[in-house]
């Protein structure tokens, strides 16, 4: 079920470049560490396309995880310092778990990791070296294969039973400081995404291999963002859903360079929390 075209076309929008997957031979892959000699860091190369990104604030109530694959929520937090790992796990994790369980009507929520990001002009995005840079390519964090694998990885003793029910992987993304005017997040309306747009891509770590979806350009994709998000707001992003009944299962998203960003805008700072969300069979 899509949004009404007439309603969308009346919304304000910006035009910006988004980095889709460039055509490549074989399965794209990226090393999360220095690659072996002679190997490129990544074969997952960007192909920029200019797209319209609509201001979703006026129709925020129209978005849902099951249709578009994302939703804007109000969610204040008592965390004082998102650069304090102990405070994140001691204060933010239990509150977010309860919030997600109530908001999504879940039987159980298991938080399995988080990423703090801060955009630093010209800096490399290095894993394990402080805050990460905003992700600048269109992607989905999980795939048909990696979604269930996350359950086996983080709930090994219960995985077989948990996988009998509905399983989702949901990201809870929020600004650390607001309003966000620099490198905001854009979300693709899942009702405009074809399965063939999603390309499974390897993310290779020293001790394991993950899998995400890169995304091929499709002119039918419709993009939205929520300008000037505050620290009391958050986004729910669907990265996997085991139910395959016509609902959106994978929600592509990316940061982007907003052409209307003031030159003196503060660098975007954000945190995303990743959660396994379980519903009994």
Q: pLDDT per residue over 128-162, tens digit each?
A: 666 899 999 999 999 999 999 999 999 999 999 99
Average pLDDT over residues 230-237: 98
Q: How many CA atoms lie within 13 A of 13 on its CB side?
A: 16
Q: φ, ψ for residue 44 (rounded to 5)?
A: -90, 80
Task: Give the neighbor-by-neighbor strand order of the sheet with 166-175.
Answer: 70-74, 233-241, 166-175, 269-279, 108-118
Strand, helix or coil for residue 54: strand
Q: What are phi and psi of 26, to 5 degrees?
A: 75, -175
Which residues are CB-contacts of 143 (< 8 A; sequence separation ≥ 6)?
Answer: 198, 200, 211, 212, 213, 240, 250
Q: Contact at 8 Å (CB) between 278 and 166?
A: yes
Q: What is the largest CA-CA distance in the chain?
A: 54
Query: In degrees rounded to 5, what are phi and psi of residue 62?
Result: -85, -15
Helix (H, G, I), strand (E, B) or coil at 7: helix
CB 184: neighbour CB atoms within 10 A? 24
Q: CA-to-CA distance for 201 and 217, rounded, in angstroms?
A: 15
User: What spatial distance separates the first Cα and last Cα of the chain, rounded to whole Å?
Assistant: 25
Mean pLDDT over 264-268 rounds to 96
Compute the distance between CA of residue 226 and CA of residue 13 in angstroms, rounded to an integer: 10
Question: What value does the mean pLDDT of the chain take?
Answer: 95
Contact in structure between 18 and 49 (CB atoms under 8 Å): yes
Q: Are 242 and 87 in contact (CB under 8 A)?
A: no
Cβ-based neighbours of 89, under 8 Å, separated by 6 or more: none
Domains and CATH numbers, the chain: 13-279 (2.60.120)
Q: Do 185 and 18 meet the contact criterion of CB atoms below 8 Å apart?
A: no
* pLDDT at residue 127, rounded to an integer: 66
Q: Which helix (H) or strand (E) holds 50?
A: strand 46-55
CA distance 249 to 241: 5
Compute how many other C-beta atoms are within 10 angstroms of the C-beta atom of residue 202: 16
Q: How confident is the model at residue 2 (pLDDT cuts 50, 70, 90)?
A: low
* b/e 72-107 (16+ beta carbons within 10 angstroms → b): beebebebeebeeeeebeebbeeebbebbbebbebe
pLDDT tens digit string along 34-86?
A: 999 999 999 999 999 999 999 999 999 999 999 999 999 999 999 999 999 99
Spatial distance between the Cα atoms of 233 and 9, rounded to a whole number of angstroms: 25
Q: For residue range 84-137, what is the model confidence (pLDDT) as tens digits?
A: 999 999 999 999 999 999 999 999 999 999 999 999 887 766 666 668 999 999
């Amino acid at each position: 079920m899509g949004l009404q075209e007439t309603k969308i076309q009346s919304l304000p929008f910006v035009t910006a470049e988004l980095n889709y997957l460039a055509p490549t031979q074989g399965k794209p892959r990226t090393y999360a560490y220095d690659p072996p000699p002679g190997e490129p860091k990544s074969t997952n190369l960007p192909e920029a396309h200019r797209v319209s990104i609509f201001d979703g604030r006026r129709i925020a109530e129209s978005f849902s995880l099951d249709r578009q694959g994302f939703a804007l929520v109000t969610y204040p937090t008592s965390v004082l310092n998102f650069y304090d790992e102990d405070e994140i796990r001691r204060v933010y994790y239990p509150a977010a778990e309860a919030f997600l369980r109530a908001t999504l009507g879940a039987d159980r929520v298991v938080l399995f990791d988080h990423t703090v990001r801060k955009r630093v002009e010209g800096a490399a995005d290095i894993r394990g070296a402080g805050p990460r840079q905003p992700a600048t390519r269109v992607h989905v964090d999980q795939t048909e294969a990696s979604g269930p694998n996350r359950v086996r990885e983080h709930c090994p003793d219960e995985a077989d039973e948990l996988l009998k029910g509905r399983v989702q992987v949901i990201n809870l993304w929020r600004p650390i400081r607001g309003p966000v005017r620099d490198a905001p997040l854009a979300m693709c309306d899942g009702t405009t995404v074809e399965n063939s747009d999603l390309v499974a891509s390897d993310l290779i770590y020293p001790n394991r291999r993950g899998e995400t979806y890169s995304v091929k350009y499709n002119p039918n994709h419709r993009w939205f963002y929520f300008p000037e998000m505050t620290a009391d707001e958050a986004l729910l992003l669907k990265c996997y859903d085991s139910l395959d009944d016509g609902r959106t299962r994978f929600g592509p998203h990316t940061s982007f360079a907003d052409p209307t960003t003031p030159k003196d805008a503060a660098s975007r700072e954000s945190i995303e929390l990743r959660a396994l969300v379980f519903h009994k069979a």
